[in-house]
Structure 1
Amino acid sequence: MDGAIGRIPRFERVTLGERVYAELRGLLMAGELAPGQRLSLRQVADQLGTSMMPVREAVSRLVADEALEVLPNRAVSVPLIDAGRFRELTRVRILIEGFAAREAAGRRDDDDLAAVEGHDAAFRHETLAEAPDLDRAVRANKELHFAVYESARMPSLMAIIEGLWLRIGPVLNLDMRVSGRRIAAGGAERHHARLVEALRARDGEAAQAALVADIEEAAAFIAGSGRLPP
């Protein structure tokens, strides 16, 4: 009996608040919530099948993360990012995420490469489609980037990148989801292809260059869209 009990896996102790936090965090990082969008806590609770308490707990954590904000009327909203803040975050991303791509090229294994290639194929499928699914494209873009960063096998670095994407993720709506023009132009797909090829070749310098070019092109598109507050 003791041996059988010993084979039972330990239950993961995750509270409802942590589960709601993880779900909302994922939506923000994937760009599935837009800057200025207001959240109904009741709607979130109903959708996830929870009471209001874990939703409030999760929202409080995301406000502390600067990923959500509480307005004067107590409504909860995704913060607007002004042009100056966007430029600052972009410069930090270039340094941090470029370094992650360089490290990933030297540390990745075959499974890592296969995951990156799969997300690249999913993104390319939407790029080449006559009527691309912009939601799928945004998700595939996020998953591709994070598959690269996870390949670097540096948990502290991943935590920093996740914090950056919590703040920048919603702005990806301005890059891909709103118009789809950058997807149609094919620039992102070309940068991704160069990134995948660099990872295959374990060329850290080329991987960093491709990743940085992708970030810079997206940032230029967003900055030139006129949608960011000055």
Structure 2
Amino acid sequence: MELSDLVTPLKRQTLSANVYDQLRDLVMSGQMMPGEQISLRSAAAALGVSVMPVREAMQRLVAEQALELTPSRTLRVPRMTAAQFKEITVIRTNLEGLATEAAAAAVGTVALREIAERHDAFVAEMKAASPNGSRLVTFNKEFHFAVYAAADMPMLLQMIEALWLRIGPILNYDLRAGSRRVGEKTGVVHHAALLAALKRRDGAKARAALEGDIRSAAEFILSAGVLVAEGVSRPPSPGGRDQSVGS
């Protein structure tokens, strides 16, 4: 999918912040895949801005390790080793589990309605004859973060966002690839259990459902052979030759 289909042209007064926010969200939600190259000029054109604010946003994302600058001066989404993925998965299970359990105790009527709406959108897309991978990853992220926001723990939410910046591009590989987990609607089952537990204010069951969701997706990704093996040089990115950072 073209970048222009995923972003919204920006107004001048919110330029700097919105460029960063939109690009950051694309990485976190998994709209950009590991190894995918990014052209500054293409991104600027899609956003309807000059190259300068895009370059500044990219520099921030490189500093946060959401993007990387290769020796050939190409910007791309980093690939991840199996060891890195396993470590982040363990941390996610603990932090996101904590947020989910806290959300069960703190969630209000409005937040619960929002979480349910995100769940319904995810379910509807899953039931489509040909589920759209881009929409699935968006709805999945929105559902998870609606839950974590309901915990009302801003510092914890920031930590979770930082983890998703690192793992987002590979996190939703199963959804984008149309794996058996999409056919079996595995994510729907876990999300439904989580929502039901939140409605009952059952923190332990909500946490268990969240942890089951994380682990089942992680098991598939580890078995799919899409992570970089330890001690193996990273293969060239798909899509041909590198694009210059200035392109």
Same fold (TM over 0.5): yes
Hey, what does 2:165 align to over in structure 1? 166
Cα deviation code 1:121-163 (max 9, x no counterpart): 1111122222112211111111000000000001101100100
Structure 1 residues 84, 131: CA separation in 2 closer, same or farther (over 3 Å shift)?
Answer: same
Hey, what does 2:115 align to over in structure 1? 116
Hey, what does 1:83 align to over in structure 2? 82
Cα deviation code 1:162-216 (max 9, x no counterpart): 0001011100342210234311112111100100000000000000000000000
Hey, what does 2:3 align to over in structure 1? none
User: Using the alignment, how far apart are the partners of 1:58 and 1:206 within structure 2?
Assistant: 39
Cα deviation code 1:33-83 (max 9, x no counterpart): 000000000001111111111111101100000000001111100000110
Is 2:128 the counterpart of 1:129?
yes
TM-score of the two chains, using structure 1 as the length reference = 0.92
Amino acid at match of 2:223: G
* Percentage of identical aligned residues: 47
Amino acid at match of 2:163: L
User: Using the alignment, how far apart are the partners of 2:178 and 2:193 within structure 1?
Assistant: 24
Q: Is the CA contact (8 Å cut-off) linking 1:134 and 1:180 kept in structure 2?
A: no
Amino acid at match of 2:22: E
Is 2:37 the counterpart of 1:33?
no
Amino acid at match of 2:54: V
Count of aligned positions: 218
**Which deviates more from structure 2 when the two are superposed, residues 45-54 or residues 204-213?**
45-54
Amino acid at match of 2:63: A
TM-score of the two chains, using structure 2 as the length reference = 0.86
**Which deviates more from structure 2 when the two are superposed, residues 14-23 or residues 205-214?**
14-23
Hey, what does 1:213 align to over in structure 2? 212
Hey, what does 1:157 align to over in structure 2? 156
Higher helix share: 1
Is 2:183 the counterpart of 1:188?
no
Q: Is the CA contact (8 Å cut-off) linking 1:34 and 1:173 kept in structure 2?
A: no
User: Using the alignment, how far apart are the partners of 1:172 and 1:160 within structure 2?
Assistant: 16
Secondary structure of the residue aligned to 2:59 is helix
Secondary structure of the residue aligned to 2:34 is coil
User: Using the alignment, how far apart are the partners of 2:72 and 2:43 within structure 1?
Assistant: 19
Hey, what does 2:140 align to over in structure 1? 141
Amino acid at match of 2:87: E
Amino acid at match of 2:162: G
- Flag the structure with larger Rg: 1
Structure 1 residues 213, 14: CA separation in 2 closer, same or farther (over 3 Å shift)?
Answer: farther
Secondary structure of the residue aligned to 2:152 is coil
Structure 1 residues 65, 14: CA separation in 2 closer, same or farther (over 3 Å shift)?
Answer: farther
Deviation (angstroms), 1:14: 6.6
Q: Tell me which stretches of 4 or more aligned residues in structure 1 moved more than 4 Å.
A: none
Amino acid at match of 2:105: G
